[in-house]
Amino acid sequence: MKTLEAEVPEILIQEVKELAEKQNASVDQIVSIALAAQVSAWRTRERIESRTRRVNWERVDEILARVPDVPRSQATNCKDRRIENQC
């Protein structure tokens, strides 16, 4: 592993220290986990944005046009009845 030096607000440092103590982990572990989670979230967002640029929205509209319009209350009632084998 490599060492990374960063400027971090004091309040965040204190929160990380408290969390590390509560989780019985080191500050390094907490920071590594948080950094990995954030990088993963950014990559996921980039992948989703990339995929949405390739979507054929006209085709999506065609598919959704085939879905019947059902009031939400009716759909909810149907779900409840399905549980009771009535739907």
Average pLDDT, the chain: 88
User: Residues with Cβ < 8 Å from 39, sequence gap 6 or more?
Assistant: none
**pTM exceeds 0.85:** no
Stronger pLDDT, 87 or 27, i.e. the higher one:
27
Is the Cβ–Cβ distance between 63 and 49 less than 8 Å? no
Q: Give 50-85 pLDDT, tens digit per residue.
A: 999 999 999 999 999 998 887 766 656 665 555 555
3-state secondary structure of 37: helix
The percentage of residues in the chain with a pLDDT greater than 70, rounded to a whole number, is 82
Domain boundaries, the chain: 8-56
Interval 33-46 mean pLDDT: 98
Give the pLDDT score at 75.
58
The CA-atom distances, in angstroms, between 5 and each of 1, 19, 37 are 13, 20, 18
